[in-house]
């Protein structure tokens, strides 16, 4: 018999973080491309971000159909991803969330594409959807410190999906503070740590 889970956050009742969910209005749309395996991870944060942002969409797929991807990218978009050596050079966003197009005109980014997956799976999604590699990139810089203590990463200074989105949106919409996006994230960590403690007593 399958164990009971919350219909919203998909977590068991004792670690449900829904009471900490917030509703945030965002001008720049956030599109989360989630790897199918990531959605099954108990500590996934992509869904959490999707539940909190009013202007957001979640696509669960490893490979997007050309027509679907083409429709998605009709909106001026940027990819939230580090500028790694194997990726082609693309325009970097300025602090106002704009880029210079081929006509040397300022174009405001209206949509942020975020890949929600392990680093290995995120690279696979980019290889399977090469048009994503050509998007202007938003690369988070600075002293990045994650509080994602219940899940390990193989990348130094790696952030969770929701931490990355909160930081990126604060940068793109400089009139707004998206730190409250991390409230359910903090609650999930706290509940899980408490659950671990109970299991060991």
Confidence of residue 161 (pLDDT cuts 50, 70, 90): very high
Q: How far apart are CA 125 and CA 33, in angstroms?
A: 9
Sequence length of the chain is 201
CATH number of the domain within which 178 lies = 3.40.50
**Could you tell me if residue 170 is inside a domain?**
yes
| Number of compact structural domains in the chain | 1
Q: How far apart are CA 102 and CA 110, in angstroms?
A: 18
**Could you tell me if residue 12 is inside a domain?**
no
Tokens found for residue 70: 């083409």
**Could you tell me if residue 44 is inside a domain?**
yes
Asked if residue 154 has pLDDT above 80, the reply is: no
Q: What is the pLDDT of residue 195?
A: 75
Q: What is the pLDDT of residue 60?
A: 96
Q: How far apart are CA 15 and CA 18, in angstroms?
A: 9
Q: What phi, psi does 74 have (nearest 5°)? A: -65, -25
Q: 72 with 61: CB under 8 angstroms?
A: no
How does pLDDT run across 118-153, given as a tens digit for each residue? 989 999 999 999 999 999 988 887 777 777 776 666
**Could you tell me if residue 177 is inside a domain?**
yes
Write out the E strands in the chain.
Answer: 29-34, 56-60, 77-80, 98-100, 106-108, 111-116, 137-138
Asked if residue 107 has pLDDT above 60, the reply is: yes
Confidence of residue 78 (pLDDT cuts 50, 70, 90): very high
Q: How far apart are CA 87 and CA 82, in angstroms?
A: 9
Question: What letter does residue 87 receive in the DSSP assignment?
Answer: S
* Residue-number span of the structural domain to which 71 is assigned: 23-82+104-199
Q: 71 with 149: CB under 8 angstroms?
A: no
Q: What is the pLDDT of residue 1?
A: 56
**Could you tell me if residue 184 is inside a domain?**
yes
Region 142-167 average pLDDT: 77
Q: What is the pLDDT of residue 37?
A: 94
**Could you tell me if residue 118 is inside a domain?**
yes
Q: What is the pLDDT of residue 66?
A: 94
């Amino acid at each position: 018999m399958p164990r009971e889970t919350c219909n919203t956050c998909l977590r068991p009742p004792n670690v449900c973080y829904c009471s900490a969910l917030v509703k945030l209005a965002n001008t720049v749309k956030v599109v989360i491309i989630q790897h199918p395996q990531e959605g099954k991870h108990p500590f996934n944060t992509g869904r959490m971000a999707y539940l909190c942002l009013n202007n957001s969409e979640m696509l669960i797929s490893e490979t997007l159909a050309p027509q679907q991807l083409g429709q998605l990218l009709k909106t001026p978009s940027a990819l939230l991803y580090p500028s790694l050596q194997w990726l082609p050079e693309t325009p970097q966003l300025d602090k106002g969330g704009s880029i210079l197009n081929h006509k040397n005109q300022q174009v405001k980014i209206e949509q942020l594409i975020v890949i929600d997956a392990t680093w290995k799976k995120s690279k696979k999604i980019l290889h399977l959807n090469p048009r994503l590699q050509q998007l202007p990139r938003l690369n988070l810089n600075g002293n990045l410190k994650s509080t994602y203590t219940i899940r390990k990463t193989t990348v130094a200074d790696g952030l969770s999906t929701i931490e990355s989105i909160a930081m990126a949106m604060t940068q793109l919409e400089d009139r707004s503070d998206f730190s409250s996006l991390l409230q359910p994230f903090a609650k999930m960590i706290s509940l899980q740590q408490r659950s671990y403690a109970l299991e060991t007593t």
